[in-house]
Amino acid sequence: MTKKHIQQIVIIILASTLVGLAWNARSVQRYFKGEFERGFLSTEESSAIIFISLPEAESLFASREAVFLDSRSIGTYLQGYIQEAVHVPFETVFEVTDEILASLPHDKILVIYCDGLECQSSINLARYLFQKGFSNLKVFFGGWMDWKNAGLPVSGDDD
């Protein structure tokens, strides 16, 4: 690699940076507004997928307005899950079958959760369900850990 090549590489990277940041200017603005702290959602997805915390999850559970979806693997689900939560595993992609999709209600709020703050499968599942036409989605980001630590109703082996 000669000096000329290094110069050309720098030019290509700089040009890509300029075009890329200009192209994504809106996303950059949204980033600095703090919109991506929990996950990267497009503006359309952001209008349909709402992040909720424990008190909201608890009140939706109590009022029975929502169906809870557990996006963790079968092993972790069976060890314990939010009472009556439906298992819709999304640890692996393309796992949600048409039968599962058909069984989910369109007229209720879907509250999706996984382990807790570090897991991404709840938000991945929410994006997927949004693409499949569901528009009343909430991601309970504190997930199983928050729910269990708060001593709220659970089912499974941990009972």
Partner 1 sequence: MMIKNRYILHLFRAVLGGVFIWSGILKVIDPMGFAQDISNYRIFPRILVLLTVSVLPWIEIFSGTLIMVRKWTRSSTWILSALLIFFLVLISVTLIRGIDINCGCFGPLSKKVDYTLILTDSVLLFLSLNLLTVKSSRNIVRS
Asked if 42 is part of the footprint of partner 1 (rule: CB under 8 A), the reply reads: yes
Question: CB of residue 63 vs partner 1: minimum separation in angstroms?
Answer: 30
Nearest residue to 125 (alpha-carbon basis) of 49, 27, 65, 37: 49
Question: CB of residue 125 vs partner 1: minimum separation in angstroms?
Answer: 11
Q: Which is nearer to partner 1, 90 or 140 (CB)?
A: 90
- Do 13 and 6 meet the contact criterion of CB atoms below 8 Å apart? no
Tokens found for residue 147: 């729910």
Q: Which is nearer to partner 1, 31 or 53 (CB)?
A: 31
Please give the C-alpha separations between residue 20 and each of 17, 23, 27, 42, 90, in angstroms, as whole numbers: 5, 5, 11, 17, 31
Q: Which is nearer to partner 1, 118 or 159 (CB)?
A: 118
Binding mask 78-117 toward partner 1 (x if CB under 8 A, else -) reads -------------xxxx-----------------------
Residue 19's contacts (CB-CB under 8 Å, 6 or more residues apart) are none
Single out the segment in contact with partner 1 by CB under 8 A; choices: 9-17, 53-61, 101-109, 144-152: 9-17
